[in-house]
Structure 1
Amino acid sequence: MSIPSYNGRFGAHLLDERNTRFSLWAPDAERVDLEILCDTQLPMHKEKGGWFVLEAPCGAGTQYRYRIDGEISVPDPASRSQIAGLHAPSMVVDPNAYQWRHPTWSGRPWHETVIYELHAGLLGGFHGVEAQLAELTELGVTAIELMPIGEFPGTRNWGYDGALPFAPESAYGSPDDLKHLVDTAHGHGLMVFLDVVYNHFGPEGSHIGRYAKSFFREDKQTPWGDAIDLRRREVRDFFIENALMWLQEYRFDGLRLDAVHTITERTFLTELAQRVHSTVEPGRHVHLMLENQKNQASLLGEGYAGQWNDDGHHVLHTLLTGERQGYYVDYHQGATEKLALSLSEGFVFQGQLARHGQKKHCGEPSAHLPPTSFVLFLQNHDQVGNRAFGERLVSLADADALRAATTLLLLSPMVPLLFMGEEWGTHRPFLYFTCHQSPELAQAVREARRREFCEFEPFKDMSLCERIPDPNDEATFTASQPDFQCCLDPRHGEWRAFYRHLLGLRRREIVPRLPGCRALGADVLGEGAVAAHWRLGDSSILRIELNLGGQAVPLADHYAHGRLLFASQDMEEFHEHHGKLPARMARVYLVAPDEQR
């Protein structure tokens, strides 16, 4: 079986073994020359619409740059490989060179998804990730999600500062190394998702504004500067071609689109989904996910399988930790009622006026959506790494309450997401790190990072601000590397066994019943305590009783008993709480149709 490649208009594409077509959209350039091997310059042909095109006698492995108006030499913005880093020449790649071992893999249906988010650099690059796949499969994970891997400055970065989105980060490995990772994951039965950034370029290494000013629009601003102008056909195609490359040439099983609330054109999102689903082979499972603070539920009916549910995380976090600063302020008051709403309808904010730092309506009604439209998590790269000191929940919350919340995470019908190290209760932080070569940029990032926390009361003390790790210091990166040896410690082994057991229950008892699942509502039992109900596809009812508070709460006497699937603490220790749900405990029941009242 041949693996299809996607030959879009942007970048360098092999015509045969000895010839390559080069294409650059540079409407603000008068002249563009193709520089090959740094000693040959070939003038490119200017075509309508600002395109410069050339077919040149060179093949895979050729290194090249574009010379703009005789003034500056730049890498290809659609470079497929930067073998020596962001500022080095681009390299022509043969997309068909890799020999796939599992070419007939067609993915897995969405309802089977259990996501494990990871940072490839912290694990040692693509080969390092590959070494963890067997363990993750045994744990019960069904999909790994890579944080962004587009070429970024230096060798250490979260990935959201990428400048060349078509080129896998050279510090992690070659394009074929990445394909080998995806191929190996498929051999384990794992899907592979990729986090992609279509809302901005990083502060270093992108030269598009020099020769294509209309790629951006000055009248719309984002947290990173001028918005990308996705009204333009060429700009849309640049990112759509990028999505199709990852899905076709690299055989990723899905994409997570970062911060789409900063994308000014909603129609771009719908078009991207349509192009993806109409292009991939029939019968292949490909899933698109969103991060979207606007809570646009309607997009989840337009080709997107799910959205990261920040609302669900935020309300669980404030109940677990008591934190109420920053964006948690909108979730702390009435947190129990908001948790019940999230479990019943997905989003907490469905059109209300207030949200932290905003004075506008946010969200759309979401009760009509199936629970699998929402990706639930207790930790992810943002919610850990955007803390000043990158603390994990195991350091912030009561252990029994955390086990109860994890029970909800892994046994509810929502799609669960884990963040690397969470499953063994690591205390290692996940910090924000960069590797900018410019001292001025490194200093600006360091100062901005510290300013970011000024609104938090503890950081009014400037001495504490000064302790926030410097993102550009290599020690910040090293401190964030997972401590795999901790799994040998019995305490950490207990956490891993806990996760493995719950994921085994999910696989056997929940996943087969998920198609057709609908939420039935959630009852508030007391402070920090709810009972949520879902009707599963086989008409049985899943009930999760969750108490994150410090006191036992009474249960309604009309609940059908059903079969106990799991209790987060030993039930025998709480016999005196008959008719009550003990503090910091979760219980999960499956009620068969003939047991329902």
Structure 2
Amino acid sequence: MPASLKHIHPDTPMGATLVAGGATFRCWAPHAKAVYVVGDFNHRVRNDAALLTRDQQGHWRGFFPGVKDRQRYMFYVVGEGSEGLKRDPYARELESPFPAECLIRHTDFPWHESGYVTPPFHEFVIYQLHVGTFFTPNLPHKGGTFLDVARKLPYLADLGVTALQLMPIQEFQTSFSLGYNGTDYFSPEMDFAVADAELPAYVEEVNKLLDAKGVRRYQAADLRGEMNQLKALVDLAHLHGLAVLLDVVYNHAGGEFGDQSVYFFDRQDAAGGQWNSLYFTDRGHAGGLVFDFSKPEVRDFLIQNAKFFLSEYRIDGFRYDQVSVIDHDGAPDGWRFCQDLTSTVHAQRPATLHHAEYWDVNPFIVAPPPVGAGFDTTLTDGLRIAIRDVISSASAPDERPLHMTRLAQSLWPEGFSESWRFVQGPENHDIVYNGREPRIARLGDPDHPRSWFARSRARVATGLSLTAPGIPMLFMGQEFLEDKQWSDDFVSHRDLLLYWAGLDRGDRQMLDHLRFIRELLALRRLLPALRARGFRTTHVHDQNRVLAFHRWVEGEGHDVMVILHLANFTRVGYQVGLPGEGSWREVFNSDVYENWVNAGVAGNNGRVVATAQPLHGFGYSAGVVLPANSILMFAR
């Protein structure tokens, strides 16, 4: 007889689920002739007792008594084209090393109920990182892990960012990866986990973080496996006041698949082409295959994945990779999938951030259904392109005009009604990857990325991002003047890892830049205008290399004036329009951070006085000292 149907009902979860007395198993394999479950609990014997029962929708399901937490299992699928083992597409954890069997898992992590609340979207400041290369204290033995990131949480909280955006953490099959070639969507990457034998030292380290917060310690058993270690990272991040966003890839899967993956899961005849692969179309993207969004089961697989990370891991939001591929290569069903995805997950937790990457930038991606796709925010490239162009041009050994007008036009992309609807920043993982574009410090002075020219221009570029409209995003290392490109291959390109040793050794230039970022982010929190909708470019001059803009809170005021200056000399008495008469405090001057505290700082002695001389659309103006390569802020 086939496996029992005890505990089986229409809402039985997909995959393997522990229940009273055993576990239920369910998978979708509509064209399979037979599907078995083999594992520790039945000695991997493929017989009638291991056979699942098919329903009318092509789901195979059954109940197996005596199944326990962390036991191993696989599906054995007999199809029209082949037969053999398959990993559960919904497996929560995989045995190490890869490829290996699935582990049935019970939800047993001891969360700290800290009362953390995901911040409002306009308060987000995102820090993007790659788990495997962000902090790597155990090289050459092992790359970075979830718990290594956790050890840097006090540093990141002190920096002033509010959200960590982890590059994709789902299981991938290659030795190194950016993460965009995942195949096992419910299982965290095993290379990002610390092995049981190496846990004691890590338990001691993370418990120091808990001691500092005055809360209960972890036991070693709490942190076994990649599933609980990722949960620990989220738990600890929340204790430090940081949201966690996952970068998910719902447009395609693979790169490499392997015979036991979701690829051709029901083992149809491969001679029929990629359309027989069940979950995918014949359209390729980034070395893998685009999902078949015409099938309700495929759409549900991806939506359930998002819901799973929200409920199981308490994630605060998602960055969705290349939604434009879902729309274009997934037509005519991709747009509807996006609407179903955002509507469903918003209903589960309205405060979750849904951040889309879509090229070319399309404001409809953040419009609500039925017209829009329903995402909250979208990545934009206008400011990034413009500021990188200006900084690169400024590095030329002359005083040529800069495209400050184009930079001003990029500050608020067309078609967006709220400033938090778009995410911007001068660096990200794509742009500064090995062999692509330089990091900001090197862009500012290609020959000497630690020169005054490089440092001062880097302050202007990042300072603009942190004061302009939009949600700002920093890429790992940007805050301490990292000038090297990066690579996920930490073996072949160990020379491209972040220079944490410089901070540890007290590198003055790195520490000064870190202070600059930290104090500017503190000012962003203090001045509500920098997070509000009120914005207007008030003055731009290409020849003088000057840009000024006004930020305010609509209906309240709280005016702030931001002025950028990218000439290589100081201007004195430069007339700038201001929105009110009287004294304006110079609340920020980037020149202070040149060999902090800069004894020779050029500035305005803490304030300027605006008089009734109309200029730049205001009724008042003042003469301002603009330091070379600087960003200034004035407030009432």
> Normalised by the size of structure 1, how large is the TM-score?
0.79
Match runs of 1:34-45 below 5 Å: 34-37=37-40, 39-41=44-46, 42-45=50-53
**8 Å CA contact retained: 1:146, 1:194:** yes
- Does residue 217 in structure 1 map to residue 281 in structure 2? yes
Q: SS at 2:74's partner residue?
A: strand
How far apart are 1:294 and its partner, in Å? Answer: 2.9
**8 Å CA contact retained: 1:24, 1:53:** yes
Which of 245, 249, 262 is 1:208 aligned to?
Answer: 262
Deviates more, 1:395-404 or 1:521-530: 521-530
Q: SS at 1:163's partner residue?
A: strand
Q: SS at 1:61's partner residue?
A: coil
- Partner of residue 393, structure 1: 440
Deviates more, 1:41-50 or 1:190-199: 41-50
**8 Å CA contact retained: 1:114, 1:141:** yes
- Does residue 238 in structure 1 map to residue 301 in structure 2? yes
The structure-2 alpha-carbon separation of the partners of 1:251 and 1:545, relative to structure 1 and needing over 3 Å to count, comes to same
Counterpart AA for 1:375: V
Q: SS at 1:249's partner residue?
A: helix
- Partner of residue 330, structure 1: none
How far apart are 1:159 and its partner, in Å? Answer: 0.9
How far apart are 1:273 and its partner, in Å? Answer: 1.1
Q: Distance in 2 between matches of 1:373 and 1:73?
A: 45
Q: Deviations over 1:370-404 (max 9, x none)?
A: 1111212121111111x406743222213212111
Counterpart AA for 1:536: V
Deviating above 4 A after TM superposition, structure 1's stretches of 4 or more consecutive aligned residues are 549-557, 577-583
**8 Å CA contact retained: 2:574, 2:624:** yes
**8 Å CA contact retained: 1:317, 1:323:** no
How far apart are 1:535 and its partner, in Å? Answer: 3.0
- Partner of residue 339, structure 2: 270
How far apart are 1:475 and its partner, in Å? Answer: 2.2
The structure-2 alpha-carbon separation of the partners of 1:529 and 1:30, relative to structure 1 and needing over 3 Å to count, comes to farther
Which of 322, 339, 349 is 1:259 aligned to?
Answer: 322
Counterpart AA for 2:121: W
How far apart are 1:236 and its partner, in Å? Answer: 0.8
The structure-2 alpha-carbon separation of the partners of 1:492 and 1:242, relative to structure 1 and needing over 3 Å to count, comes to same
Q: Distance in 1 between matches of 2:631 and 2:30?
A: 60
- Does residue 13 in structure 1 map to residue 31 in structure 2? no
Q: Distance in 1 between matches of 2:173 and 2:437?
A: 22
The structure-2 alpha-carbon separation of the partners of 1:309 and 1:246, relative to structure 1 and needing over 3 Å to count, comes to same
How far apart are 1:29 and its partner, in Å? Answer: 2.0
**8 Å CA contact retained: 1:199, 1:263:** yes
Deviates more, 1:102-111 or 1:59-68: 102-111
Match runs of 1:543-554 below 5 Å: 543-548=561-566
Q: Distance in 1 between matches of 2:326 and 2:566?
A: 37
How far apart are 1:177 and its partner, in Å? Answer: 0.9
Q: Deviations over 1:277-311 (max 9, x none)?
A: 1112xxx7321111111322122233433222222
**8 Å CA contact retained: 1:547, 1:583:** yes
- Partner of residue 153, structure 1: 173
The structure-2 alpha-carbon separation of the partners of 1:552 and 1:301, relative to structure 1 and needing over 3 Å to count, comes to farther
Counterpart AA for 2:410: S
**8 Å CA contact retained: 1:390, 1:430:** no
Q: Deviations over 1:558-594 (max 9, x none)?
A: 433643221222595368x95574542222223x5xx
Match runs of 1:49-448 below 5 Å: 49-57=57-65, 58-69=67-78, 71-95=83-107, 97-102=108-113, 104-122=115-133, 123=135, 124-173=144-193, 174-205=226-257, 207-210=261-264, 211=266, 213-218=277-282, 220-224=283-287, 226-264=289-327, 265-280=334-349, 285-302=351-368, 303-322=374-393, 335-343=403-411, 345-346=412-413, 365-366=414-415, 368-385=416-433, 387-388=434-435, 391-397=438-444, 398-433=454-489
How far apart are 1:147 and its partner, in Å? Answer: 0.7
Counterpart AA for 1:229: D
- Partner of residue 33, structure 2: 30
**8 Å CA contact retained: 1:21, 1:55:** yes
Which of 487, 490, 496 is 1:480 aligned to?
Answer: 496
How far apart are 1:137 and its partner, in Å? Answer: 0.8
- Partner of residue 551, structure 2: 534
Q: Distance in 2 between matches of 1:8 and 1:254?
A: 26
Counterpart AA for 2:17: H
- Partner of residue 514, structure 2: 496
Counterpart AA for 2:64: A
Deviates more, 1:308-317 or 1:522-531: 522-531
The structure-2 alpha-carbon separation of the partners of 1:585 and 1:233, relative to structure 1 and needing over 3 Å to count, comes to same
The structure-2 alpha-carbon separation of the partners of 1:9 and 1:312, relative to structure 1 and needing over 3 Å to count, comes to farther
Counterpart AA for 2:105: V
Q: Distance in 1 between matches of 2:510 and 2:45?
A: 58
Cα RMSD between the aligned structures?
Answer: 2.9
Instruction: Report the number of matched residues.
Output: 509
The structure-2 alpha-carbon separation of the partners of 1:103 and 1:53, relative to structure 1 and needing over 3 Å to count, comes to farther
How far apart are 1:341 and its partner, in Å? Answer: 1.7
Q: Deviations over 1:520-578 (max 9, x none)?
A: 34543225542222332432333222233557789665433643221222595368x95
**8 Å CA contact retained: 1:370, 1:519:** no
The structure-2 alpha-carbon separation of the partners of 1:8 and 1:563, relative to structure 1 and needing over 3 Å to count, comes to farther
Q: Distance in 2 between matches of 1:424 and 1:520?
A: 30
**8 Å CA contact retained: 2:231, 2:313:** yes
**8 Å CA contact retained: 2:251, 2:321:** yes
**8 Å CA contact retained: 2:455, 2:481:** no
**8 Å CA contact retained: 1:525, 1:531:** no
> Normalised by the size of structure 2, how large is the TM-score?
0.74
Percent identical pairs in the alignment equals 28
Counterpart AA for 1:340: A
Q: Distance in 2 between matches of 1:540 and 1:580?
A: 23
**8 Å CA contact retained: 2:402, 2:542:** no
Which has the larger Rg?
Answer: 2
Runs (5+) with no aligned partner, structure 1: 1-6, 325-332, 347-364, 434-472, 593-597
Deviates more, 1:141-150 or 1:28-37: 28-37
**8 Å CA contact retained: 1:290, 1:304:** yes
How far apart are 1:235 and its partner, in Å? Answer: 0.8
Q: Distance in 1 between matches of 2:421 and 2:277?
A: 37
**8 Å CA contact retained: 1:82, 1:91:** yes
How far apart are 1:222 and its partner, in Å? Answer: 3.4
Q: Deviations over 1:223-251 (max 9, x none)?
A: 44542121221111111111111111100
Counterpart AA for 2:87: P
Q: Deviations over 1:290-340 (max 9, x none)?
A: 11113221222334332222222121112112499xxxxxxxx99433321
The structure-2 alpha-carbon separation of the partners of 1:120 and 1:418, relative to structure 1 and needing over 3 Å to count, comes to same
- Partner of residue 466, structure 1: none
How far apart are 1:81 and its partner, in Å? Answer: 0.4
Q: Deviations over 1:417-437 (max 9, x none)?
A: 11111111123431253xxxx
The structure-2 alpha-carbon separation of the partners of 1:432 and 1:391, relative to structure 1 and needing over 3 Å to count, comes to farther
- Partner of residue 56, structure 2: 48
Q: Distance in 2 between matches of 1:415 and 1:578?
A: 31
**8 Å CA contact retained: 1:413, 1:510:** no
**8 Å CA contact retained: 2:256, 2:288:** no
